[in-house]
Amino acid sequence: MKPGVLAPFLLVFLWTGASQAQPAPLRMDGRQMVANLKLSAMITPAFERKMRSGLTQRILYRVLLREDPGGRVVAAALRYCNVTFDLWEENWSVECAVQGSVRSLVVARYPQLLIHVAALQDFRFPGVFQPSAGRRYWVEVEIQVNPISRQLLDKVKMWLRQSERGSQFSGYMGSVLSLFVDKSISGADMVFRVESKKVWGRELP
């Protein structure tokens, strides 16, 4: 094992906590759906090398709420993070944006970084949502590390600057989804995909 690089299985143990109860992957808060999900697929040696390179790494998250039967997308949202490792101070500067909100912080340990970039914590889907008791719901996340398309990043930043009210426009979800099916603006250094377990609407906390 290289100095300063933790084995993936050890990182997963430190990051999740062996005895800590994990929050429900989906819950309702008023009339909004909220997701909590560990993005364990990101915990790889290659991802850690990226995070320790000293170059700014851009991480784009496409977060979909799906409904069974049929796997229909019923809500969609974006998250975007910039992460820079200071080789001199040996810490990470992290800035993450969701629609209408930006959070900045500095962390000194790699497991702390994973808490912020390899997880969705109280992630709110925009807009009002009414689950159906007889249907199942789950979260699907696609993570792109360093998307190569400037066009994609410019569009993402534009949507993230929109207000919560703006997300209610009928074309919002379709426009978000279009970014990830348009092959002309695809491509990234690394791509990860994670899904939560399915939850019945009647069982949502």
- 130 pLDDT above the threshold of 70: yes
- Other CB atoms within a 10 A radius of the CB of residue 79 amount to 20
Cis peptide before 25 (omega within 30 of 0): no
Three-state DSSP class for 113? helix
DSSP letter string, 127-139: S-----TTSEEEE
- 81 pLDDT above the threshold of 50: yes
Three-state DSSP class for 163? coil
- On whether the CB atoms of residues 97 and 79 are closer than 8 A, the answer is yes
Residues above pLDDT 90, as percent of the chain: 60
DSSP state at residue 167: G
Single pTM value for the model: 0.80
pLDDT at 133: 95
pLDDT, mean of residues 114-129 = 93
d(CA 77, CA 45) in angstroms, rounded, equals 28
CA count, 13 A, side-chain hemisphere, 115: 14
d(CA 115, CA 111) in angstroms, rounded, equals 7
CA count, 13 A, side-chain hemisphere, 142: 16
Listed in sequence order, the residues at least 6 apart from 41 whose beta carbon sits closer than 8 Å to its beta carbon are 143, 192, 193, 194
In tens, the pLDDT along 20-68 reads 567 899 999 999 999 999 999 999 999 999 999 999 999 999 999 999 9
Residue count of the chain: 205
- Residue 185's alpha-carbon distances to 2, 98, 152, 160, in angstroms, are 35, 21, 6, 18
- 18 pLDDT above the threshold of 50: no
pLDDT at 175: 57
Alpha-carbon torsion (165, 138, 131, 29), positive or negative: negative
Comparing 170 with 73, the larger pLDDT belongs to 73
